[in-house]
Amino acid sequence: MISDLSKLRNIGISAHIDSGKTTLTERILFYTDRIHAIHDVKGKDGVGAKMDSMDLERERGITIASAATHCQWLGHHVNIIDTPGHVDFTIEVERSLRVLDGAVLVLCSVAGVQSQSLTVDRQMRRYHVPRLAFVNKCDRIGANPLRVRDQLREVLGHNPVLLQLPIGLEDRFEGVVDLIEMQALRFEGESGEHVVQGPIPEALQAEARAAREQMLDAVSMFSDDLTEAILEDRVTTDLIRAAIRAGTVGLRLTPVLIGSAYRNRGVQPLLDAVVFYLPNPTEVKNEAVDLDGDEAVHEIVVDVSQPTVLLAFKLEDGRYGQLTYLRIYQGQLTRDATIVNSRSGKKHRVGRLVRMHANEMEEIPAAGAGDIVAMFGIDCHSGDTFTDGSMRVAMTSMHVPEPVISLSIKPVDPKSEINMSKALHRFSKEDPTFRVAVDPESSETVIRGMGELHLEVYIERMKREYNAIVETSPPQVAYRETVSQRTEFNYTHKKQTGGSGQYAKVAGYLEPYPEGDFEFVDDIGGGSIPREFIPSCEKGFRSMLAKGRRIGHPVTNLRVVIDDGAAHSVDSSDIAFQEAARGAFRDAFDRAQPKILEPIMRVVIEGPAEHSGAMLATLMQRRGMIIGSQEDSGQAKVEAEVPLAEMFGYATTLRSTTQGKAEFTMEFSRYLPVPESVATELLEKAAKAKAAQARK
Ligand X SMILES: Nc1nc2c(ncn2[C@@H]2O[C@H](COP(=O)(O)OP(=O)(O)OP(=O)(O)O)[C@@H](O)[C@H]2O)c(=O)[nH]1
Residues lying near Mg ion in the complex (CB under 5 A) are found at: 21-22, 63
By a kind-dependent CB cut-off of 5 to 8 A, residue 452 interacts, out of ligand X, Mg ion, none, with: none
Q: How do 8-15 and 102-108 pair as beta strands?
A: parallel
CB of residue 2 to ligand X, shortest distance in Å: 27
- Nearest to ligand X of 20, 599 (CB atom): 20
By a kind-dependent CB cut-off of 5 to 8 A, residue 23 interacts, out of ligand X, Mg ion, none, with: ligand X
- Nearest to ligand X of 140, 429 (CB atom): 140
By a kind-dependent CB cut-off of 5 to 8 A, residue 261 interacts, out of ligand X, Mg ion, none, with: ligand X
- Nearest to ligand X of 179, 270 (CB atom): 270
HEC letters along 222-275: HCHHHHHHHHCCCCCHHHHHHHHHHHHHCCCCEEEEECECCCCECHHHHHHHHH
Q: Three-state DSSP class for 647?
A: coil
By a kind-dependent CB cut-off of 5 to 8 A, residue 137 interacts, out of ligand X, Mg ion, none, with: ligand X
| Half-sphere exposure for 642 (CA within 13 Å, toward CB) | 27
DSSP classification of residue 200: P
By a kind-dependent CB cut-off of 5 to 8 A, residue 140 interacts, out of Mg ion, ligand X, none, with: ligand X
- Nearest to ligand X of 135, 470 (CB atom): 135
- Nearest to ligand X of 264, 572 (CB atom): 264
CB of residue 320 to ligand X, shortest distance in Å: 27
**Position 183, amino acid:** Q
The string of DSSP letters for 442-473 reads: T--EEEEESSHHHHHHHHHHHHHHH---EEEP
By a kind-dependent CB cut-off of 5 to 8 A, residue 139 interacts, out of ligand X, Mg ion, none, with: ligand X
CB of residue 154 to ligand X, shortest distance in Å: 23
- Nearest to ligand X of 94, 139 (CB atom): 139
Distances from the Cα of 672 to the Cαs of 405, 600, 601, in angstroms?
Answer: 15, 7, 10
| Degrees, nearest 5: CA angle 583-588-594 | 125
Interface with ligand X by CB under 6 A: which residues? 15, 17-23, 40-42, 61-63, 84-86, 136-137, 139-140, 260-263
- Residue 75: count other Cβ atoms within 10 Å of its Cβ: 8
By a kind-dependent CB cut-off of 5 to 8 A, residue 511 interacts, out of Mg ion, ligand X, none, with: none
For residues 555 and 481, is the Cβ–Cβ distance under 8 A? yes
- Nearest to Mg ion of 261, 405 (CB atom): 261
Helix (H) or strand (E) holding 348: strand 347-349
By a kind-dependent CB cut-off of 5 to 8 A, residue 388 interacts, out of ligand X, Mg ion, none, with: none
By a kind-dependent CB cut-off of 5 to 8 A, residue 466 interacts, out of Mg ion, ligand X, none, with: none
- Nearest to ligand X of 24, 219 (CB atom): 24
- Residue 406: count other Cβ atoms within 10 Å of its Cβ: 18
CB of residue 666 to ligand X, shortest distance in Å: 15
CB of residue 325 to ligand X, shortest distance in Å: 18
CB of residue 134 to Mg ion, shortest distance in Å: 14
Return the C-alpha torsion angle 93, 651, 630, 18, nearest 10.
40
The residue number with the shortest CB distance to ligand X is 85
CB of residue 545 to Mg ion, shortest distance in Å: 39
- Residue 527: count other Cβ atoms within 10 Å of its Cβ: 9
CB of residue 552 to ligand X, shortest distance in Å: 36
Q: Distance (Å, rounded) from C-alpha 605 to C-alpha 666?
A: 9
How far out from the chain centre does Cα 227 lie? 39
Of 583, 501, 494, 567, the C-alpha closest to 533 is: 567
CB of residue 562 to ligand X, shortest distance in Å: 50
- Nearest to Mg ion of 22, 341 (CB atom): 22
